[in-house]
Amino acid sequence: MAEAALPRNVSAIDTPAIYEPSLFGTYSKKIGMWLFLLSDSLTFGGLLYAYSYGRISISNWPTPFHSSSIVNATIMTGFLLTSSLTMVLAVNAAARGNGRNRLLFLLATMACGVGFIVLHAKEWSNLIAEGLRLPIFPAVPHQETASEFVNVSKTVPQFAATFFGLTGMHMLHVTLGVVYLGVIALRRKFIPILFALWLVAWLATPAYSPFHYGAHVLLIAALVCSLILWLKPKVYDAADVEVAGLYWHFVDLVWMFIFPLVYIMSTKIV
Amino acid sequence: MEDASQLAIEARVAEEQRHHSVTPFFWVWGTLLVLTAIEVYLGYQNMEPKRMLSILMCLSIVKAALIIGYFMHMKYEVSRMKYLTMCSLVFCLAMMMVFFPDAFRILYLGVR
């Protein structure tokens, strides 16, 4: 039976031939990334549906976001949208073989991503300091026990759970996206930068902050990236930039649903 | 060592992208910013939640379509790629909506 599967002219295997066209008209790496993004969409879809389920089923769903939070989230959205523009310009520069522009636009994309993370971390820290927290978060010293957010955490714990779950998952994706772009743009030179970022994030945050422990994501990323670059060193070409761009745009895409659902729909305008 | 056919496809895709003008990307970016501004404006209106949710979701779907179509280059892919990926995604996400009637049951009848 196995012999029957062989072509009649076995010598034809080694001869150059016209390759079969790709089923989806593009290269495998890109199709692989699309498949990953489709599965990741379902992860975020599940989290967004969980948030919406709580929003519908709980009549006293809190609306804790004041004007300052909305302004902050709007600037974060601006950062992500601008990073998508610089990313698409990096992909275009890579396709044209313009190495300098490719590097500049990739660094600009990373800068916007870092801006988004910093603002998001600031937002989280403010909310935690005011009492919105998960039971697993370390206790904040000298915290007001009667603040509005403490009551929210007690009366509707689903809000804090879905809010931190959803936005935390997104923040993790943005962080890993910045690492991914850093490796594509700077390759081995990015590893010491990543270790330095880990040290700064770890040592500069107080012990009760979730970011004090969350910073170790950067350490894990640095170790994994070191291993990958050591095992398979290569020059990343235009296709690699395009595939990284797909991931980055996806992160932007998800935020386009989180921003209105989580922030705009939970606005308290005084 | 990469497959020669893969390298050939990558070169063709890069060649196609060299001919794409960057002007539409700036238009898309501007449109996305304007749509975001509209969303924020709506947040400051004391609108009925269901109506506001409908408008916000419509705007988000338009924004998602622009990002997927232009930034993620789906507009330039072959039809097979477009329809297979997008239809399967929409179908799977729509299937998750099966849980929403239960949320309304809790809201109107309470937990029993």
- Each residue of B66-78: pLDDT tens digit? 999 999 999 888 8
Structure tokens at A216: 């170790």
Query: For residue range A15-51, what is the model confidence (pLDDT) as tens digits?
Result: 555 566 678 878 888 999 999 999 999 999 999 999 9
| Mean pLDDT, residues A155-175 taken together | 92
Structure tokens at B32: 């996305």
> Phi first, then psi: what are they for B98, rounded to 5°?
-60, -20
* Domain annotation covers residue A29: no
Question: Residue A130: exposed, middle, or buried by beta-carbon count in 10 A (0-12, 13-18, 19+)?
Answer: middle
* Domain annotation covers residue A223: no
Look up the pTM and report it.
0.88
Dihedral of CA atoms A164, A166, A168, A174 in degrees, nearest 10, equals -160
What pLDDT, on the 0 to 100 scale, is given for residue A17? 53
What pLDDT, on the 0 to 100 scale, is given for residue A147? 67
The ipTM estimated for the assembled molecules is 0.88
A197 pLDDT band (50/70/90 cuts)?
A: very high
What pLDDT, on the 0 to 100 scale, is given for residue A18? 59
- Residue A133 scores a pLDDT above 60: yes
Q: Which of A71-75, A266-270, B16-20, B78-82 has the highest mean pLDDT?
A: A71-75
Chain B CA closest to residue A243: B72
* Domain annotation covers residue A22: no
Exposure on the CB side of residue A44, measured as CA atoms within 13 A: 24
What pLDDT, on the 0 to 100 scale, is given for residue A144? 62
Whose structure tokens read 């969350």?
A214
Cα B41 off chain centre by: 21
* Domain annotation covers residue A68: yes
Label residues A6-36 b or e (16+ Cβ within 10 Å = b): eeeeeeeeeeeeeeeebebbbbbbbbebbee
Tell me how crowded residue A119 is: count the other CB atoms within 10 A of its CB: 15
Task: Give me the residue from B18, B52, B73 closest to A96, CB to CB.
Answer: B18
Looking at the complex, report in whole angstroms how far the Cα of residue A81 sits from the nearest Cα belonging to chain B. 7
Return the higher-pLDDT residue of A134 and A183: A183
- For chain A, what is the domain count? 1
Lowest mean pLDDT among A240-244, B4-8, B65-69: B4-8
Return the higher-pLDDT residue of A3 and A71: A71
Lowest mean pLDDT among A185-189, A209-213, B11-15: B11-15
Asked if the Cβ–Cβ distance from A242 to B13 is below 8 Å, we say yes
Mutate to test the interface with B, among A56, A76, A235, A252 (most CBs of B within 10 A): A56
Provide the domain limits for residue A93. 62-181+237-266
* Domain annotation covers residue A206: no
DSSP string, A65-97: B-HHHHHHHHHHHHHHHHHHHHHHHHHHHHHTT
Q: What is the CATH number of the domain that holds A95?
A: 1.20.120.80
* Domain annotation covers residue A25: no
Distances (CA, A) of A41 to A31, A36, A246, B65: 15, 9, 13, 14
Number of residue pairs across A and B with CB atoms under 8 Å? Answer: 155
Asked if the Cβ–Cβ distance from A28 to B6 is below 8 Å, we say yes
Asked if the Cβ–Cβ distance from B43 to A267 is below 8 Å, we say yes
Q: Which of B15-19, B63-67, B79-83 has the highest mean pLDDT?
A: B63-67
Query: For residue range B32-67, what is the model confidence (pLDDT) as tens digits?
Result: 999 999 999 998 888 888 888 889 999 999 999 999
What pLDDT, on the 0 to 100 scale, is given for residue A5? 45
Return the higher-pLDDT residue of B112 and A115: A115
What pLDDT, on the 0 to 100 scale, is given for residue A10? 46
* Domain annotation covers residue A138: yes
- Residue A2 scores a pLDDT above 70: no
Distance CA A65, CA B43 (A): 11
Q: Cβ contacts (< 8 Å) between B17 and chain A: which residues?
A: 91-92, 95, 238, 242
Name A170's Cβ contacts closer than 8 Å, sequence gap at least 6: A44, A251, A254, A255, A258
What pLDDT, on the 0 to 100 scale, is given for residue B100? 81
* Domain annotation covers residue A45: no
Would you say the C-alpha torsion A133, A118, A36, A49 has a positive or negative sign? positive
Q: Cβ contacts (< 8 Å) between A82 and chain B: which residues?
A: 29
What pLDDT, on the 0 to 100 scale, is given for residue A145? 62
A11 pLDDT band (50/70/90 cuts)?
A: very low
Question: Residue B78: exposed, middle, or buried by beta-carbon count in 10 A (0-12, 13-18, 19+)?
Answer: middle
Q: Cβ contacts (< 8 Å) between A91 and chain B: which residues?
A: 17
- Residue A84 scores a pLDDT above 50: yes
A166 pLDDT band (50/70/90 cuts)?
A: very high
Lowest mean pLDDT among A75-79, A132-136, A175-179, B66-70: A132-136
Asked if the Cβ–Cβ distance from B17 to A91 is below 8 Å, we say yes
DSSP string, A24-51: TSS-HHHHHHHHHHHHHHHHHHHHHHHH
Domain boundaries along the sequence of chain B = 4-109
* Residue B18 host element (H or E): helix B4-18
Whose structure tokens read 């990096």?
A90
Q: Which of A52-66, A126-140, A220-234 has the highest mean pLDDT?
A: A220-234
A143 pLDDT band (50/70/90 cuts)?
A: low
